A and B are shown apart, each in its own frame.
Chain A
């Protein structure tokens, strides 16, 4: 069964540095998402992406964050000038959208981001 893959599994970065988290969604999926889970807290929606543009973003997704689909397969989350509070597990997800009825989002295994 096709999977959403995320790299790296663990990223350690110095505070103030930029970090790029990478995701390869399932090939026939149209919608792509990033979520964040701070240790011990709930999974939070960051952003959804469709047709090469942001479809919706949450209050968390401020100017520090950006997403990009640089080619036909990768979907990236860039965090500029990282802060200690950006330390979290970041999940990528993808789905085909609502056309034809409900289809679940498929999640990757996550990237654990540790800011020092």
Chain B
């Protein structure tokens, strides 16, 4: 079984400040890890992914995440946030299912960027 824990339900931050959104996972098999972003009234959009290789992965909009196997973490970071980064962020661990992938999502972290 797989599960994802997002430790913070809400993260307020001022514009141009750095931010880290925390994610821990558990899985009995090899994992594929993802971060999705959901802007208001929109669907989920893939921000970045870890499948294998380098543990530091870069995504869209200046975000990056680091896979830490020993700590079973996949925290999301951005060195300087913008107002437009205000959104809901979901961490997900994905397993294969036949010819596709099925994600298990965390509860989400609401990033609120203040001017």
Contact = CB atoms under 8 A, between A and B. Distances in A.
Interface residues of A, number: 25
A66 interface: no
B45 to A, nearest CB: 7
Interface in A25-52: 30-31, 41-45, 48, 50
A107 interface: yes
A107 B102 contact: no
B100 interface: yes
A105 B97 contact: no
- The CB with the most chain B CB atoms within 10 A, among A4, A41, A48, A108, is that of A48
B34 to A, nearest CB: 8
Contacts of B107: 41-42
Contact of A43 (B44, B46, B101): B44
Contacts of A98: 96, 99-101
B98 A43 contact: no
Interface in B78-115: 90, 96-108
A110 B38 CA distance: 11
Mostly, the B contact residues are: strand
Contacts of A104: 34, 46, 49
Contact size range, B: 20 to 34
Interface string A37-79: 0000111110010100001100000000000000000000000
B51 A48 contact: no
A2 to B, nearest CB: 13
B99 A43 contact: no
A107 B45 CA distance: 7
Contact of B99 (A4, A31, A41, A45): A31
Interface string B14-58: 000000000000000000101000000111111001010000000
B30 to A, nearest CB: 13
A66 to B, nearest CB: 19
A31 B101 CA distance: 10
- Nearest 5 pairs of A and B residues by beta carbon: A107-B43, A43-B105, A104-B46, A97-B99, A107-B44
Interface of B: 32, 34, 41-46, 49, 51, 90, 96-108
